[in-house]
Structures are given as C-alpha cells and as structure tokens.
Amino acid sequence: MVLISGISLAGYVALRCLDGKAGLLILGLFGGLVSTTATTLVYARHSKSLRGFSTVASTIILLSHIVLFIRVGILVSVVEPSMLRPMLPWLLGGGLVGGVYGLWAYRRAVSAQKALPDLEVRNPAELKTALGFAAAFAVVLLLVSWMNDNFADTGVYVVAFISGLTDLDAITISNLKLVSSQTLSSPVAVTAIVIAFVANLIFKYAIVLTAGAKTLRLPVAMGFLTLLIGIALGLAADRFL
C-alpha cells in the first residue's frame, strides 16, 4: 500500500507543483504515474468537448500507458527482484516499441498543441484511496491463491484478466508475492501479469469508445497496438534467443 501510494504520490506532487503549466509530455508521463484511468477518462472527455483536440489527447493517453512499463518494473524490483529477469523482455519490448511510436506521435501533436486543460486527479495518498488499494490487493491475493488451488494455471489467468481490467498494480503485486511464497511458478506469474496488462488496455479503450470523440478512437487504437506488438516481440525474443 505504501509502495503504490508513494509512486502515485510522486506523479501527483509533480503535477501539482507545475500548477497547470505542464506540457504535453509532462502530463502524459506524470499522468501515468498518478493514474492511467484518470488520464484516459479526462482527456477522452476533452477530445469530445474541444474541437481538434484528439491528436493531443491520444498522445497524452499513449504516453501515460508507456509509463506503465516503468511502473511495473519498479514494483518487480522492489517486491520480488528475482522476477526482474523473466519480466524484463516484454517490459523492454513494449516500452521501446511504444516509446518510438510515442515519440513520433509527440512530435506530431506538438504542432497541434494549444493550451492544455489541467489533469484533475485525487491525491493518491488520501487514506480512502490507500485503504481502497489495500482492500483490492487482499481480495486479489486471496482469489489468485484460491483459483490456483482449484483450477491451476487457468484459474490464475482468469483472475488476472478480470482484475487487470481496472487495476494492474494489485494483480501484479499479488502474483509477485505468490512467487515469493512459492505458490506460483515464475512463468505462470509472468503470463498472468501480461494478461492483466492486455486486459487493462482493453478497459482503457472502452473508456475511449464511450467517453471520447470518434476522432480519438483510431490514434489510441494504433498507440495501444504498438504496445501489444512490442510486448509480443519481447516475449518472442525471450523464447527463441
């Protein structure tokens, strides 16, 4: 709970210190540290209310999700360092391929950038927010352990997909802790976290479809597709090299 709140708080403090002066790049990167869900929802709505804003909004959303690879890497390094090696291929693959596409999208969006609306998010260190994560983590940990006992790997993957739809942190830490206790094997944990990551992208794209402008759909889809391609390339390289 302290670890997640600390990571999110770092992004929150950075955004508050900038006090509305954050540029496109900063909003995307620190928005990813605070909450990709909030970043996606806020800028999807802005794309509908501000004409011609979809290019900028899609870039901010993409940048925030590239930060997820760094965020997951930090969690692995702190919670279960032995998992860094098996996790690194898909984290690097997704981060690098997504980063290259994100750089292109950023340069394209800069020319269309006007005054950017603020990213309004709640303080992630508030007691209600922190306790909410703690409760989610406890439930996910229990579900993963129970499903693993009763349905083996398939059960773990089902929980990963469902949990990953709304919260990537809880399922990531749960799987890492179960690896530490030798309840889960390393390959199963890696697969489960990748499934949760994909589920999270699906959920965020659903937000874009329901809350954003129609012109936002294609650029976000292209951005998310590059992340998935990068993940697939990383996993393939790890298997065949």
The per-residue pLDDT for 137 is: 53
Question: pLDDT tens across 170-223, in order?
Answer: 888 888 988 888 888 899 999 999 999 999 898 889 889 888 889 999 999 999
Total domains present in the chain: 1
What is the spatial distance between Cα 102 and Cα 213, in angstroms, rounded to a whole number? Answer: 20
Cα dist from 1 to 12, 79, 124, 126, 133, whole Å: 16, 12, 11, 11, 7
Q: Is the pLDDT of residue 22 over 80?
A: no
Q: In sequence order, what are the residues at sequence separation of 6 or more whose Cβ sits closer than 8 angstroms to the Cβ of residue 120?
A: 38, 42
Per the domain annotation, does 161 fall within a domain? yes
Mean pLDDT of the 155-168 span: 83
Q: Are 117 and 133 in contact (CB under 8 A)?
A: no
Q: Are 35 and 124 in contact (CB under 8 A)?
A: yes
Q: Is the pLDDT of residue 123 over 70?
A: no
First to last CA, the chain: 37
**What is the identity of the amino acid at 173?**
I
Per the domain annotation, does 42 fall within a domain? yes
| 138: Cα within 13 Å, side-chain hemisphere | 7
Per the domain annotation, does 67 fall within a domain? yes
The confidence band for 11, taking pLDDT boundaries of 50, 70 and 90, is very low
The per-residue pLDDT for 111 is: 72
Per the domain annotation, does 121 fall within a domain? no
Domain that holds residue 182: 2-116+126-240
What are the two backbone dihedrals, phi and then psi, of residue 114, each rounded to the nearest 5 degrees?
Answer: -120, -155
Question: pLDDT tens across 84-103, in order?
Answer: 999 999 999 999 999 999 99
**Element (DSSP H or E) covering residue 72:** helix 54-79
